[in-house]
DNA sequence: ATGGCGGTGGAGCACCGA
């Protein structure tokens, strides 16, 4: 089973890229972030025509997450528990049944949090606390589980081309990194790092200042695996070439292959 | 780089992203 995650920065703007990507990579499950549209406006028919079941949790203009799956999704959860007043569409979860048992997948769009010292950063940290609490419960299910998405966290200095430039950024603040570690320390492993400790593995390059041409990137899109998913981990990869396509998203797909049929 | 680009809404330019 191949599971991918991709912040598309507007699904309407990226529909051609989505089709090209799924035809070449052929993921069984694809988690999307930053749809920037409401559920009714999601290009459902076009995506279904590519061979996927579609579950969305959309919002006007901002945020929005989806899970595309060749097999049907069940036990759908829209939104992260812990704050009924939170209107932002940043979390979607579902379960896929296979001949080898179930696999649970979440599509996560963690808040950016900039600038620090404002309510936006407080919201990011509070959202991470809610994610940690929910992930702790899911971990207890002892299922293969993949928490994937745009975490907006640079875990380590080697995950940025110029880490010093990010010192005061919400993506690299010690508080953000500590909460990401807290999540990992529940017993989740960062799939890309389980496969490689090399520097220079990035999933995002800014549109500005020729960041991609200079390879001035950061790694902020992650797939965290429960122990039962780690047992099945075959490989992980970052589809860097997608950033070189015409009119790309600023993020590229990241994916894992699991030994699950 | 205190915002160089890109998307949205809606028809200016503000807001957001990372």
Question: Would you say residue A261 has pLDDT above 90?
Answer: no
Q: E-strand spans in A183-232?
A: 189-190, 204-205, 217-218, 221-225
Nearest residue, CA→C1' of B1: A209
Q: Which of A91, A109, A151, A202 is catalytic?
A: A109
CA distances from A195 to A70, A84, A144 (A): 26, 38, 18
Q: How far is the CA of A9 from the C1' of B15 (A)?
A: 15
| Beta-strand pair A29-33/A2-7 | parallel
Q: What is the C-alpha separation between A201 and A193, in angstroms, rounded?
A: 10
| Strand B contact with A37 (CB < 7 A) | yes
End-to-end alpha carbon distance in chain A = 6
A9 touches strand B (CB under 7 A): yes
pLDDT value at position A10? Answer: 98
Q: What is the pLDDT of residues A110-162, one digit of tens each?
A: 999 999 999 999 999 999 999 999 999 999 999 999 999 999 999 999 999 99
What Å value separates CA A116 and C1' B16?
15
CB-CB contact of A256 with A233 (8 Å): yes
Reported as a single tens digit per residue, the pLDDT across A73-107 is: 999 999 999 999 999 999 999 999 999 899 999 99
The CA–C1' separation of A139 and B14, in angstroms, is 42
Work out the widest C-alpha separation in chain A, in whole angstroms. Answer: 49
**Fold (CATH) for A2-258:** Deoxyribonuclease I; Chain A (3.60.10)
Active site residue A150: yes
DSSP, res A160: B
What mean pLDDT, rounded, does chain A reach? Answer: 97
Q: How far apart are CA A29 and CA A21, in angstroms?
A: 12
Residue A207 is a catalytic residue:
no
For chain A, give every domain's residue range: 2-258
How many residues make up chain A in this entry?
261
Q: What is the rounded CA–CA span in Å between residue A229 and residue A176?
A: 25
Alpha-carbon distances of A202 from A4, A24, A55, A97, rounded to whole Å: 15, 20, 28, 32
* pLDDT at residue A40 in the model: 96
């Amino acid at each position: 089973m191949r599971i991918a995650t991709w912040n598309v920065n507007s699904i309407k703007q990226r529909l051609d890229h989505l089709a090209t990507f799924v035809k070449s990579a052929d993921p069984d499950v694809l988690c999307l972030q930053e749809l920037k549209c409401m559920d009714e406006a999601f290009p459902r028919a076009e995506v279904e025509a590519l061979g996927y079941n579609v579950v969305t949790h959309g919002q006007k203009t901002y945020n929005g997450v989806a899970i595309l799956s060749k097999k049907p999704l069940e036990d759908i959860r829209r939104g992260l528990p812990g704050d009924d007043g939170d209107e932002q569409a940043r979390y979607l979860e579902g379960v896929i049944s296979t001949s080898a048992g179930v696999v649970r997948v979440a599509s996560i769009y963690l808040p950016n949090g900039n600038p620090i010292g404002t309510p936006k950063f407080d919201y990011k940290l509070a959202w991470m606390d809610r994610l940690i609490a929910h992930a702790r419960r899911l971990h207890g299910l002892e299922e293969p589980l993949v928490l994937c998405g745009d975490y907006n966290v640079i875990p380590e200095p080697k995950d940025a081309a110029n880490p010093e430039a990010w010192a005061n950024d919400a993506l690299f603040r010690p508080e953000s990194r500590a909460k990401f570690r807290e999540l990992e320390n529940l017993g989740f492993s960062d799939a890309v790092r389980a496969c490689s400790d090399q520097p220079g593995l990035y999933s995002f390059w800014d549109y500005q200042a020729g960041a991609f041409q200079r390879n001035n990137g950061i790694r902020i899109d992650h797939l965290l695996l429960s122990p039962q998913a780690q047992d099945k981990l075959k490989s992980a990869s970052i589809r860097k070439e997608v950033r070189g396509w015409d009119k790309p998203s600023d993020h590229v797909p990241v994916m894992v292959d699991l030994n699950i049929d």
